[in-house]
Amino acid sequence: MQQQDVEQLVEQVAGKLGRGLSLEDLDGLLLAYSSNQAHADKVRVNFLLSKRVPVDVSAWQLSHGIATAVRPLAIPANPDLGMLGRVCVPLMVRGFRVGYLWVQQDSEDENPAVILAQLPDVGQEIEQLSGLLLESNTAESEFRRGREREFLAACSGEANALAAVAGWKEIQGKGPWQVVTVLDADGWAGGPDPIASTLIHRSAALQATVGVDVVLFSAGTETHSVVLFRESVGRANHAQVLVHYQLELAKRSGRPVHRIILGISEGFAKPRELAEAYRQSRLAAQAAAVDPQLGELVDCRATGIYQLLGSAGGGASAWADSGSVYVRMLEDHDRNLELLPVLELVYDNDGSIQDVATKLHLHRSSIYNRLGRIRQLLGVDPLRGMPRLELHAALKMRRWAMRPRI
């Protein structure tokens, strides 16, 4: 991005509208502003001096929905802040949010509809401005895209890519490593535009890992991000990346993000083991997505039977039918979902009826009654021997069949 081009475009739009404009990035940093200051309010003056949106002003703007807006939005005046009304123009490219253009009203009495009616006249300039901001995004630079493609190819086991990545200065002499798959548990399928989805994950991963010394590289795909860490025993850095990634993904996608999962591989010391580490991290993220009890920071070794299910392979429909006669019998008699979920919780809690009752907010007698119904239906004790092994494994197979396809 040429700063001069951005400033010229802002001045050009301001001239056509006859109003004061300011351009900011997603973090509230000033990128450019027009020279038209005739009706500048206190907020605008302070913003131009400090180059950053104050916290109270940001809160006012966010409370009116700018973070999720995809069309121009009128923000009412706030006399307590010394702020006239203004119109926020979200700058979007292929569904990717790159910044905000602000158009200030000239007076308290002016109707924002006047500004909204003017905006179609500068639609071409706003589109050009959005494109320039996109080009300035580090994740969208051609060099960065090429490096990410090479890294993801190495994660897939491509020999030439593995050799190339092994020679990167970011990698050499900094092992052992671990691969982390970052997954949005609810929104992993992405949107209708795969290019935009990939860019959103690229940018979120890049911004979430800034300043985290143990992170060596990150890449984005249509459904998730992949991050290369130096191996560590603790998980404080992983937790930091999780929190920041959730914030960045929400900011760039313009939608709520409720649960981010980090699937963590075993450590590895040889670059050629990168593909296996990626497989482990992806499996851990998938397992946690379908089995929330695993948590959000999930080591592959902690996923239990899901490691076996993942290693066994199979297509999209694999494990949809566990083949367990006992499970089929329970499914036929469990229309209200009172039996199978309780049975799985009993297994997952080492048979502790009290723990299960507490989690379900039920009395222990209710749990015993349901187990008695299961025992009667099956004709065997579901808490002992081979029937227990079969039922527990089959219940996990049902979950694994619903895993995100990443």
pLDDT, tens digit (0-9, with 9 covering 90-100), for 26-43: 888 899 999 876 778 899
What percent of the chain shows pLDDT beyond 90? 64
106 falls in which pLDDT band (50, 70, 90)?
Answer: confident
Return the pLDDT at 142. Answer: 74
97 falls in which pLDDT band (50, 70, 90)?
Answer: confident
Return the pLDDT at 141. Answer: 67
- pTM for the model stands at 0.73
The stretch 249-260 carries a mean pLDDT of 90
**Could you tell me whether strands 224-230 and 177-184 are parallel, antiparallel, or unpaired per DSSP bridges?**
antiparallel
Higher pLDDT, 252 or 285: 285
* Nearest-angstrom CA–CA distance, 187 and 174: 33
The stretch 82-92 carries a mean pLDDT of 92
Q: b/e string for 157-166 if b means 16 or more Cβ within 10 A?
A: eeeebbebbe
For helices 236-253 and 194-208, angle between their N-to-C axes, nearest 10 degrees:
140
The stretch 1-18 carries a mean pLDDT of 84
CB 203 within 8 A of CB 220: yes
* Nearest-angstrom CA–CA distance, 48 and 22: 8
145 falls in which pLDDT band (50, 70, 90)?
Answer: confident
What are the tens digits of pLDDT across the range 258-279? 999 999 999 999 999 999 999 9
Return the pLDDT at 26. Answer: 85
Return the pLDDT at 391. Answer: 94
Q: Which residue has the tokens 């092992």?
A: 175
User: Among 37-51, 210-224, 236-250, 317-331, which stretch is predicted with the lowest mean pLDDT?
Assistant: 317-331
Select from 69, 402, 347 the least CA-distant residue to 87. Answer: 69
Helix/strand/coil percent split, the chain, to 5: 50, 15, 35
What are the tens digits of pLDDT across the range 161-193? 999 999 988 888 898 999 999 999 998 876 778
Return the pLDDT at 1. Answer: 46
Return the pLDDT at 3. Answer: 67
Select from 391, 343, 349 the least CA-distant residue to 367. Answer: 343
Considering the chain, what is the average pLDDT of its residues?
90
The stretch 18-24 carries a mean pLDDT of 91
Return the pLDDT at 335. Answer: 85
What are the tens digits of pLDDT across the range 287-332? 999 999 999 999 999 999 999 999 886 655 566 667 789 999 998 9
The stretch 106-116 carries a mean pLDDT of 87
